[in-house]
Structure 1
Amino acid sequence: MRGSYFVAICGAFVSHAAIAQTTMSPARPHGEAPQDARDASGQSLGDIIVTASRRSDTVRKTPIAVSAYAGQKLEAAQTKSLNDLVGPSPNIQIGNSYNSSNITIRGIGNQQINAGQDSGVAIHADGAYIGQPSLTLATFLDLARVEILRGPQGTLFGRNATGGVINVVPNEPTAETHYGVDLTAGVDPALFQLSGFINGSLNESGTLSGRVAAQQSYNRGYTRNLLPNGPNRLDDAKNQSVRGQIKWKPSDMFDARLLVEYANDDSNGPASFLEGTPDPTIPLPSILIGQSRGDVGKREVFANINYRKVHSFNTNLTLNWALGGGNLKALLSYADSKLVNVSDGDGTAAEDTYASFTNKARQTYDELIYTSDNSKPFTYLLGANYFRERLEQAIEVPIAEAPLGGGVVLNDITVFGGAVPLITTSYAAFGRAQYAFTPDFKLFAGLRYTHDKKSIVQYNNFINGGTLQSSSSSWNRLTYEIGTSYAFSQTLDGYLKYSTGFKGGGYSAGTLAPSFRPETNANYEAGLKGNFFNRALQANLAVFYMKYDDLQVNQIVGVSSSVTNAAKATVYGAELETSLRLNDALRIEWSAAYLNATFDEFRTADSSRPNSCDPGTGVGTVPCSLDLSGNALPQSPKYTSSLGGYYDVPLASGKVTLGARYDWKSRVYFTEFNLPISSQKAVGKLNLFLNYESEDGRFTGSLFAKNVTNEQVKGNVIVVSSIIGSLALGQYQPGRQLGMSFGYHF
């Protein structure tokens, strides 16, 4: 059935291109929104203005595989964080981690645990690259839209975008008076969220405007702790955020905007369930034998200790000048964050081990971009940026009982600890040009030079009785793209491009190992984006083929998390997003993806299974190793699909929308070893909505049920080293949530 849908959509593309009358689109004045994007808050795919190409244009006219979600649509679907967008967005996955979120796009990301490594998915908030996005993605506050760019974005977004980019774009101040409040309450478990904003002019002339938004969220927690000495609930939420902005626009030629934001999370953190060991022949540590493991189905766990505290502050100054028919933009950004995460390390009543992570980071990000007049046949942009981050990290893993070579038992030791000052500096210069040979046929190309440097002072009191080591490394790389786009008609556009990506090298802090190498990739991609049948059907299709060299893979080696350069990997697949309006009342949305992401060459050891190896390895002092060629990359399900239906019922005072969405994905592995214990079998989630909107749009209300069947879905499984018991610890996504919301916007 899935294949027939795919063929039908592709047939619609081809047949429409063949019979459509090709008409040249008239040029529009500089800065004016495209005609088919007049309603930026619309539900359809092509109606949202995005800045994925560093210019404002519609999704259809942007030669990038991008999913875009307007703020109004996020609110209607009860989308509270990036995790809620995983279902309807093709080829994006998010896994829990101790001190960060493991975000992958098309199978590429990286589970950041130790300092010294970066994610392969770049996060940008209000235009600024965020090195430590702990809270940026936790809650969505007063957003204009969210953009998810798939594939390497090395030219326009630079370092650490081998997998893709996520742009979080807040609403900006305007001179018009607006305000609003939204209240959400729920049960199973108890839920409460209050958010609001106020916007308007700060002077009589309207040249100075401001906007303030704030949000308070509370969720009692999906998991109950059965131990009285620990927190009562886990997988909970207790966070606050506030954002203030001032915008000064003395003329059409210049504007300046200052943003200040603070966010806080004071929750009990995620629960860790003991799944067992990765091999039936590996017994549990003696202290855990006979201990109860909790019950995932009932969401009951044993946790002696668990808490999570995150504080973040950031401020951005954005300046725009109209210059030479184009626009010059300057961004000055500063961010400060602190994260403390303590998790029970065994999921039982025994006081065996726990993991403590403390991250303190300060960053500056500055960028200057000039974009030329978009109405000319030849357009270009030139840019430069600078990033500097100071990160201090302390990790402690006390162990009550752990076997160490020779049968020695260590009692109450800290296997890894100490602050780790890590300085990252990066600067880049880039440019992109496009020439329209006709209004329909365009060629584009871009080039970027990036210089990265990391300096680290690391400490591990487990190695040689405690050692301080200072190291520094730097890397340079050129990334580029070249491609073409063609408008087959006024409603169908296609593109073909070749692009490269670069993720800098780094250090696995605490391992005292030499730096690991940068990760690079090359991507061949083709796409079709169109509106069909008088805009009743909108569909975006992308196919891609990527080759990776020195792919960075996070592993547990010895007592620490470490990054290894896997030799080579190949990733290819297809992504489809559709929106079909059958009549004025009924709309159907379907997205689907196929992903084949495998290692071409990768031989490594599994520290949780020290005796598992291929024949002929493990001789003498050579570690036991496994050939992982052909294994799937972590967090890369082969098939994903999301099907939603929405039916509008008109009322005298407005309309009611009945909605349902089912999100499904095939089996996903969480480690490169592709073991059953560290995977999530194929599973789907059903979400139901009943939304009300008044005729003037001021009043909204909703009844919702998320994950109706209460599926218990693993978000991640971490398998620790044999030194601390080869334990497989699973963390789970939210269970069922029932609730209602009310909103008033003026």
Structure 2
Amino acid sequence: MTAQKRSERLQDVPISISAVTSDTLQKQSVMQVSQLSLAVPAVRIDFSGNTVQPTIRGVGSAIAGPGTNSNIPTYIDGYYIPNPVATDLALINIAGLSVLKGPQGTLFGRNATGGAIQVTTKAPQHDTNILARLSYASFNHITAGVYGSTGLTPNLAIDLAASYEYGDGFKRNIVTGQRNVGQFSRWSVRSKALWEPTDGVIFTLAYGHTYSDDPTPNMVNARNGMSAGALIPGNVVASGRRDMSNGSPNYDYLTTDAVTLTSNFDLGFADLTSYTAYRKESDDQGFDYDASPAFIQAAKWTIPEKTFTQEINLTSKGGGRFNWVLGAFYLYNSSEYHYNIAAGSNDYSRLFDSRNKTNSYAVFADGTYEVMDKLFVTVGGRYSIDKPHVAFNLMDTVIDEGGATFKNFSPRAVVRYEINRGSSVYGSFTKGYKSGILPAASFSTVAVEPESIDAFELGYKISQGPLRFNLAGFYYDYKDVQVASFFAQGVSVVRNAASAEIYGVDGELSYDVTPDFTLSASAAYTHADYKKFQNAIGYEQDLDPSSQTYSTFQPVNVDASGFQVLRSPRLAFNVGANYGFNLANGRMALNANYYRTSKFYFDAVEQFGQKAYGLLNLRATWTDPSERMDVSIFGTNVTNTNYITQTLPDTVAIRQAYGEPAAFGAALTFRY
């Protein structure tokens, strides 16, 4: 585990972490980051359109659009991914995944108030190995992937991961009768080259390309038929899980290219690591805002984005009483937005163009000292300078631009006591920070102020024999929360809510009952309420069709003080069981995983909720005697639970999207 930028045992890291291996992810049928809640219930992964919006312990991003970014960043092999559209990753060559809960600032490339999601991919090996997987499931869902690694010379190894995915989706258009309107395809290729020219020097060069033609996040209908289209005589408006009635196109094409170079140098007294990355992304979307056959309001937009990051870490060797890390980080991000609108017809015209640029600089330091035997004190800090800039053109008549500068120092302090070699307790204080922003879709050069959080945590960890157990209690004072309200024609208003108070407890338990039988459980109780939020936005329905404006849902101010923070269930948990036994000279493994969440709301004013629900996944895998082939059958959401994954309100419709119904399939895995 390298959560503190140095190799440590998980139970020695004084941070609340959920670490999941690739084998566990596969057993639980977690194949993408968006399904992470099934394995880590303290996390919710929701969407706003195709924008991934994670929430950890009641802290999550409630904003989307140009010039915005998540307060729970995703890292791949240590590299920050700024675009929340590109973080719903397929997990074909994943070595492991970890979720860090609570503010992260003194050890990572970009500061964050909520936590961090770390994805680690496999490293090239000199020994030749090949893994190939093919699966078929309900809704004509085909997944194929291959991973291979080999050595070319004694000091050069390469690998290659490739995947392809296709499906018809579960949606049907009840107006046209088309049954595969959610048809999607995705493919990716990623390769690494690891070169060790001399002892103590390692370079890892990686290139990845992904392409996705997947309208699934935009496959919305009208919640309870709440659409302006419902006021038009004879118009059919869908609201059921598998039904759509959109008259305008819904699509999403995403292309990503990324090049990274990781350089490691053994300096004797410390290790120096350089992380250099360049990403280029292009997102092309179409969306029917009224979710009906009528041409009331629809949009098409393209988002080209470029990112360059450079991070330097100097890490002590360890082994003594004092261990430390020093770091510096730079980010340049440029994101354009070209937005076209159609209102009253299917003719699109340009509404606005925008360009956001961000330069971010940071230095950080973190050190742990063993002040006496088994008692460790950690102190860290991070100083950040963020400089966002925005320029926009509204209907070719209004041009404006502006910038802002935000400076922040975020400290942390931790005390940990090692009870014995396998267990420890800790207490921590961490100050979190998310930079202010200039969201272009608000058509303003007045910056939204940074959000901040004071986080207190007490934790206990033990890993002894068959038992692994982690427990943490936390209290957050969350201020200037950045929230967005959406209006007609893609316009959003992003501003700071007053404050929120969050406290709770979460934990994980795994116990090997026998060498063949393991039980696991994890749970999170989170009490997250707005302390003061007097100008939250709700939507009031106007049922008078005589105006013919079709703006039937008018924004109104609501005092949300004391209301539950959006997308923050009070209780979420999962329980799992793994049982293995010999069968036909091979090995059979049975896995069951059940996830449940209590009621929560998609909005700050508690208008649009999702009642409590549970998801059950089952998997059975037989491994042949040579251990080179697996045959699996699996079911996801086997109880066919009906649940909503997002709600998107604005003036022409209250839109929603559903999770996938029950699906069943089979998979083959080959190893060499």
The one-letter code sitting in structure 1 at the alignment partner of 2:662 is R
Is the partner of 1:84 in helix, strand or coil? helix
Aligned partners of 2:27 and 2:591 also within 8 Å: no
Change (3 A) 1:552 1:160: farther
How far apart in 2 are the matches of 1:643 and 1:336?
40
How far apart in 1 are the matches of 2:297 and 2:98?
40
Aligned partners of 2:538 and 2:605 also within 8 Å: no
1:293-692 equivalence runs, <5 A: 293-294=237-238, 296-400=240-344, 417-461=351-395, 466-513=397-444, 514-532=446-464, 535-557=465-487, 559=489, 560-606=491-537, 608-609=539-540, 625-651=557-583, 653-675=585-607, 678-692=608-622
TM-score (normalised: structure 2): 0.93
Aligned match for 1:209, one of 157, 164, 169? 157
The one-letter code sitting in structure 2 at the alignment partner of 1:743 is T
1:104 aligns with 2:55: yes
1:24-35 equivalence runs, <5 A: none
Is the partner of 2:145 in helix, strand or coil? strand
How far does residue 432 in structure 1 lie from its aligned partner after superposition? 0.3
The one-letter code sitting in structure 1 at the alignment partner of 2:655 is L
Aligned partners of 1:429 and 1:450 also within 8 Å: yes
Change (3 A) 1:502 1:701: same
1:717 aligns with 2:647: yes
The one-letter code sitting in structure 2 at the alignment partner of 1:545 is Y
Give CA-to-partner distance per residue, 1:206-225, whole Å, 9 cap, x none: 20110011000112102122
Aligned match for 1:198, one of 143, 148, 169? 148
How far does residue 84 in structure 1 lie from its aligned partner after superposition? 2.1
How far apart in 2 are the matches of 1:74 and 1:252?
35
Is the partner of 1:595 in helix, strand or coil? strand
How far does residue 252 in structure 1 lie from its aligned partner after superposition? 3.3
How far apart in 2 are the matches of 1:573 and 1:380?
30
Aligned residue for 1:5? none
Aligned partners of 2:137 and 2:666 also within 8 Å: yes
Aligned residue for 1:741? 667
How far does residue 163 in structure 1 lie from its aligned partner after superposition? 0.6
TM-score (normalised: structure 1): 0.84
How far apart in 2 are the matches of 1:518 and 1:610?
33
Give CA-to-partner distance per residue, 1:195-249, whole Å, 9 cap, x none: 011111112xx201100110001121021223449x7524443100000111111
Larger deviation, residues 379-388 vs 535-544: 535-544
How far does residue 400 in structure 1 lie from its aligned partner after superposition? 1.6
Change (3 A) 1:648 1:627: same
How far does residue 303 in structure 1 lie from its aligned partner after superposition? 4.7
Change (3 A) 1:295 1:515: closer
Q: Which has the higher strand share?
A: 2
Is the partner of 1:116 in helix, strand or coil? coil
The one-letter code sitting in structure 2 at the alignment partner of 1:446 is G
Aligned partners of 1:97 and 1:113 also within 8 Å: yes
The one-letter code sitting in structure 2 at the alignment partner of 1:434 is T
How far does residue 297 in structure 1 lie from its aligned partner after superposition? 4.4
Aligned match for 1:238, one of 185, 192, 197? 185
Aligned residue for 1:13? none
CA RMSD across the alignment: 2.2
How far does residue 321 in structure 1 lie from its aligned partner after superposition? 0.6
1:71 aligns with 2:22: yes
How far apart in 2 are the matches of 1:524 and 1:227?
53
The one-letter code sitting in structure 1 at the alignment partner of 2:388 is K
Change (3 A) 1:289 1:156: farther
How far does residue 483 in structure 1 lie from its aligned partner after superposition? 0.7
How far apart in 2 are the matches of 1:468 and 1:374?
55
1:149 aligns with 2:100: yes
Aligned match for 2:635, one of 688, 705, 710? 705
How far apart in 1 are the matches of 2:115 and 2:233?
44
How far apart in 2 are the matches of 1:65 and 1:573?
13
Change (3 A) 1:108 1:475: same
Gap regions ≥5 residues in structure 2? 543-554
Aligned match for 1:225, one of 173, 176, 184? 173
The one-letter code sitting in structure 1 at the alignment partner of 2:174 is L
How far apart in 1 are the matches of 2:120 and 2:515?
30
How far apart in 1 are the matches of 2:574 and 2:377?
34
Aligned partners of 2:72 and 2:112 also within 8 Å: yes
How far apart in 1 are the matches of 2:193 and 2:567?
40
Aligned residue for 1:730? 656
Is the partner of 1:430 in helix, strand or coil? strand
Aligned partners of 2:442 and 2:494 also within 8 Å: no
Larger deviation, residues 267-276 vs 162-171: 267-276
How far does residue 191 in structure 1 lie from its aligned partner after superposition? 1.1
Is the partner of 1:134 in helix, strand or coil? helix
Aligned partners of 1:657 and 1:690 also within 8 Å: yes
Change (3 A) 1:714 1:80: same
The one-letter code sitting in structure 2 at the alignment partner of 1:268 is P
Change (3 A) 1:581 1:303: farther
Gap regions ≥5 residues in structure 1? 1-49, 402-410, 612-622
How far apart in 2 are the matches of 1:652 and 1:557?
61
Aligned residue for 1:86? 37
Give CA-to-partner distance per residue, 1:85-110, whole Å, 9 cap, x none: 21220321111222411111112221
Change (3 A) 1:472 1:289: farther
How far does residue 184 in structure 1 lie from its aligned partner after superposition? 0.9
Change (3 A) 1:604 1:295: closer
How far apart in 2 are the matches of 1:439 and 1:233?
64
How far apart in 2 are the matches of 1:95 and 1:394?
25
Aligned partners of 1:296 and 1:712 also within 8 Å: no
How far apart in 2 are the matches of 1:541 and 1:382?
29
Aligned residue for 1:135? 86
Aligned partners of 1:114 and 1:562 also within 8 Å: no
How far apart in 2 are the matches of 1:626 and 1:297?
30
How far apart in 2 are the matches of 1:299 and 1:80?
25
Aligned partners of 2:188 and 2:211 also within 8 Å: yes
